[in-house]
Structure 1
Amino acid sequence: MKIYHNQLNKTLQQGFKPVWLVFGDEPWQKNNSLAAIKNHAKNQGFSEVIRFSSDSSFDWQLLLDEYQSLSLFASQRIIEVELTTVKVGDAGNKALLALAERLAQDIASAHFPHDVIFIFHGEKLDAASANKKWFKNLTQLGCYLPLYDIELKAMPQWLNNQARQLQLTISAELNALLIALFEGNLLALAQELDKLALLFGSQPIGIEQAEQIIIKQAKFNPFQVIDALLLGDCAKCITMLDQLQQEGMAPAQLMWVFHKEIQQLYAMLTQLSQGENIATIYKQYRIWDKRKPLYQHALTHIQLGNVKRAMVRIADIDLLSKTSSEFNIFILLADLCITLYHGEKTAGLSLNYG
């Protein structure tokens, strides 16, 4: 079966599951999920952990042999398998399918011993990997836990839940400050809460006290900048661009994402101006349901003329990035964000500043 991170503890209490599949790129949820599963198993007597890592030279037969062998140290074992890539190849496909079939046969037996738990984990699964027969068969035998980034609107509740577990007293003002400082970096935020719990215990934490202690560790990626841009939050875009510059991100990575998005906005707005139905446009560009509000805002607040101005400007920025080292490309990209919504104000301004 398939569950989500907030359902994990409840699912663990529902009884023994021989297979857990934990896949995703969000580090805090992955660490938390793996720790919760293993701690629960250890409390049930699973005292031995055997770990495998599937690199390009991995012998998949070891997995089957380990399952079928008797442990010399404990009667109950956790077999943990880190998939360094979800593309396991023909040998991996065959071995994992054989393992799933063997597990299914054993579970169907009236004398199936609850003495082995498999934990498979790795990066986010693509659609092709999630549709592999071995993966579907293992999911039917146990539990698949896909990990997704927590959306910004869900962060206050997540933070309050974590504070409650740590017996921290967090005001709404401090909650908002922490989210602003650590957006996009859940692992660092969780570590900061642990630090606050050690320093303050259950005592109320003043906003002034927290500001003196907390270090800004928010981390962003180019796609989060685009989301903020679609929502028209230019100030947030500029903050993110500044952070990415400090982290040393290559401007070319951002240029590609901006160029692709602006070209798509131009095409979508052109089709709308020609009377095309918005639902048809969303389908054509494969806009997911949860991203439709972002595009709804952008398509109703960005003028086609400003997108044309932005296209000219990004072409100029691209040329400057390749021909001169005197310009700060991140500042020019901030100019680009403003142009999309206020192109009439930036149209007369030169990009000739460093």
Structure 2
Amino acid sequence: MKIYHNQLDNTLRQGFKPVWLVFGDEPWQKDNSLAAIKNNAKSQGFSEIIRFSSDTAFDWQQLLDEYQSLSLFASQRIIEVELTTVKVGDAGNKALLALAERLTQDINSGHVPQDVIFIFHGAKLDAASANRKWFKSLTQLGCYLPLYDIELKLMPQWLNNQARQLKLNISPELNALLIELFEGNLLALAQELDKLVLLFGSQTISVEQAEQLIIKQAKFNPFQVIEVLLRGDCAKCITMLDQLQQEGMAPAQLIWVFHKEINQLYAMLNQLAQGESIANIYKQYRIWDKRKPLYQHALTHIKLDNVKRAMMRIADIDLLSKTSSEFNIFILLADLCITLYHGEKTAAFSLNYG
């Protein structure tokens, strides 16, 4: 069974499940999910936790041995397995498939193993790993919980839900401020809410009071910058680039992502100009449904001539990043964002800001 984070509490109330698979890169949701699963298990008498980490020297047979052994300390055990990589190798594939088959046999024989809970967790799964037989078999026995970043438009609702659970009284203005300051860093935002509870309890917190305490901890990644760029919010892109510079992001990472996206936009606009349907273009470039509105906006508002200008500029920026230390690459990338939408204005200006 596959569920999402907002379905976890209801799923836990539905009864025992021998296997939980928690995978994703968003740290707050991962910590929250693992804690919720373990706390629920502990309330049912699972007092012992056995932890494994699948490093390169890991003996996968230990999982089968642990499952089949009797505990010396508790009758009910949580066996937690951190997958340091989703590429578990042949030994991991065989062992996990054998474990799934053994669990299935026990369930089918009427001996439901309600004295052991397996929790597997790790980074975001790629499509190939999620389609492996062992993973599908374990998912059928329990719950797969993929964790995704919360979209910006859903953040106000998430924040209000968290505040309600903490009995924290925040105004819509403070809600908006917190989202602006902590966008992309859910873990830091959750910690900030805990701090506000300690300081203010259930009393109403004004924006002025919060501003005196809150430190800006927004965190972004290159792909989030691209999403904002596709939406056409150049000012937000520049803010995000500034934040990434302060965090010490390597310019090469950003240049690669910008280069890839601009080349794709050029190809897509060319195909549109030649009469290709937008539906076929989305299919060709594997644009997910939730990202189609982003590309719809970009392909409608970005001119082919401006993409050509941006392609020349990203090539120059790449060269400058490798041959000169006199240029602030983040300023040049800000220029690139503006060029995509307003290239007719930036065309007259050189990248040489020195």
Q: Secondary structure at the match of 1:85?
A: coil
Q: Which residue of 2 aligns with 1:181?
A: 181
* TM-score (norm. length: structure 2): 0.98
Q: Which aligned pairs between 1:251-330 and structure 2 lie closer than 5 A?
A: 251-330=251-330
| Counterpart Cα distance in 1 of 2:72 and 2:7 | 35
Deviation of 1:113 (Å)? 4.5
8 Å CA contact 2:48–2:74 kept in 1: the answer is: yes
Q: Any idea what the Cα deviations from partners look like across 1:78-126, whole Å, max 9, x if unmatched? A: 1111111111111111111111111111112334341111101111111
| Counterpart Cα distance in 2 of 1:93 and 1:317 | 44
Q: Which residue of 2 aligns with 1:204?
A: 204
Q: Cα 1:246–1:108, aligned 2, differ >3 Å: closer, same or farther?
A: same
| Counterpart Cα distance in 1 of 2:65 and 2:265 | 54
| Counterpart Cα distance in 1 of 2:334 and 2:183 | 20
| Counterpart Cα distance in 1 of 2:111 and 2:257 | 56
Q: Which residue of 1 aligns with 2:230?
A: 230
| Counterpart Cα distance in 2 of 1:344 and 1:39 | 59
Q: Secondary structure at the match of 2:215?
A: coil
Aligned-residue sequence identity (percent) comes to 88
| Counterpart Cα distance in 1 of 2:321 and 2:102 | 57
Q: Which residue of 1 aligns with 2:162?
A: 162
Q: Any idea what the Cα deviations from partners look like across 1:300-350, whole Å, max 9, x if unmatched? A: 111111111111211221222222111100001001101111111111111
| Counterpart Cα distance in 2 of 1:90 and 1:317 | 43
Q: In the alignment, is residue 125 of structure 1 matched against residue 125 of structure 2?
A: yes
Deviation of 1:276 (Å)? 1.4
Give the counterpart letter for 1:37 in structure 2.
I
Give the counterpart letter for 2:131 in structure 1.
N
Q: Which residue of 1 aligns with 2:250?
A: 250
Q: Which residue of 1 aligns with 2:147?
A: 147
Q: Which residue of 1 aligns with 2:351?
A: 351
Query: Which stretches in structure 1 are left out of the alignment for 5+ residues?
Result: none
| Counterpart Cα distance in 2 of 1:216 and 1:241 | 15
Q: In the alignment, is residue 335 of structure 1 matched against residue 345 of structure 2?
A: no
Q: Secondary structure at the match of 1:67?
A: helix
Q: Which residue of 2 aligns with 1:190?
A: 190
| Counterpart Cα distance in 2 of 1:218 and 1:271 | 37
Runs of 4+ in 1 over 4 A off after TM superposition: none
| Counterpart Cα distance in 1 of 2:114 and 2:135 | 21
| Counterpart Cα distance in 2 of 1:259 and 1:163 | 40
Q: Which residue of 2 aligns with 1:16?
A: 16
| Counterpart Cα distance in 2 of 1:268 and 1:110 | 56
Give the counterpart letter for 1:88 in structure 2.
V
| Counterpart Cα distance in 2 of 1:126 and 1:321 | 31
Q: Secondary structure at the match of 1:176?
A: helix
* TM-score (norm. length: structure 1): 0.98
8 Å CA contact 2:167–2:201 kept in 1: the answer is: yes
Q: Secondary structure at the match of 2:309?
A: helix
Q: Which aligned pairs between 1:45-60 and structure 2 lie closer than 5 A?
A: 45-60=45-60
Give the counterpart letter for 1:85 in structure 2.
T
| Counterpart Cα distance in 2 of 1:144 and 1:332 | 43
| Counterpart Cα distance in 1 of 2:146 and 2:322 | 40
Q: Any idea what the Cα deviations from partners look like across 1:189-211, whole Å, max 9, x if unmatched? A: 11011111111111000000101
| Counterpart Cα distance in 1 of 2:270 and 2:69 | 65
Q: Which residue of 1 aligns with 2:217?
A: 217
Q: Cα 1:111–1:302, aligned 2, differ >3 Å: closer, same or farther?
A: closer
